[in-house]
Amino acid sequence: MKKIGVFTSGGDAPGMNACIRAVVRTALYHNLEVAGIIRGYNGMIHDEIIDLYSYSVSNIIQQGGTILKTARSDEFMTYQGRKKAFDNLQKHGIEGLVAIGGNGTFTGAKIFYEEFGVPIIGCPGTIDNDLYGTDYTIGFDTAVNTAVDAIDKIRDTANAHDRLFFVEVMGRDTGYIALHSGIASGAEVVLIPETLTSIDEIIEILNLGKERKKSSSIVIVAEGDEEGGALKIANKVKEKFNYYSTRVMILGHLQRGGRPTANDRILASRLGSAAVQGILQDKKNVMVGVVNQQIVFTPFEECIQKQKPITNHLLQLIDFIR
């Protein structure tokens, strides 16, 4: 193999640039040429492919976002679109790919490999931390720290005004950000898609805080909770509980931005470097992850189909220390 390509796809995550840097530097160390594919699968189809050198990735390890941009691609969901992408890779002499992204990225990579045989290794880049085959994904640690910083500030104003705040964080299908940020910020209630928490249970918990004369309460809501988003849940709670003045804060895409934490930079560097080494070892159609601090490779099919379970002792911790 003489040349590989690297691209980012799906939602951006802090640390993607650190991963790109590691891919490029490791490939060059092993005398491989590297091409950067702009805007993911969409750029692959429209021939937005550039050569990358060591200086191309200088001074990016600390930057959020992705220098290679990212985009959704409906065209790549068709065979004709994937054929165009393959032809462009052939034109540029690209023999293997490193795909940095999440579930949708790896679904596309699996189909692409099965149709055209291009060796692809995925690096898990998503703030949701929802991919099976790795303990943590690139961007998760930064997103949690961003959420905790915001919640700490909200707590200050909540205490000043005796308020109840409902804070919505990202997590359409999983509650990792909500759970970790809730523990770290001392939230009274954490609502996630993986567990059922009724409105009556929320009110029972808030009443306990009222009896202890708490001056404020924070409820963290993952956007995909079964009771609805923070606005819906806040309105339901207000109908039965009015001890505090109630406010809602939706953090939204704030969680995707910002400089990656040291943990995310190190994780991204390990994964990017391991992906290149995996390609050189003839691994393909797999995601590289870190489990118990060890590099592991998991088939795309398992990453896509298997659900990553929430740790039970973290759920219990909320109850113990609220």
Residues with a catalytic annotation lie at 128
* Cβ pair 177, 222 in contact under 8 A: yes
| H-only helix segments in the chain | 16-29, 40-45, 79-91, 103-116, 140-161, 176-185, 199-211, 230-238, 262-280, 300-305, 312-321
CA distance 76 to 99: 14
DSSP tag of 253: G
**Which residues are within 8 A (CB) of 98 and not within 5 positions of it... i.e. 6 or more apart?**
4, 5, 6, 7, 23, 120, 121, 122, 123, 272, 275, 276, 279
At CA 87, angle to CA 83 and CA 89, rounded to 5? 115
Label each residue of 99-137 as H, E or C.
EEECHHHHHHHHHHHHHHCCCEEEEEECCCCCCCCCCCC
Strand 217-222 relative to strand 163-169: parallel, antiparallel, unpaired? parallel
Starting from the edge strand earliest in sequence, which strands make up the sheet with 189-191, in order?
Answer: 189-191, 217-222, 163-169, 245-250
* Cβ pair 239, 130 in contact under 8 A: no
Q: Record the tokens describing residue 105, joined without a space.
A: 């990225």
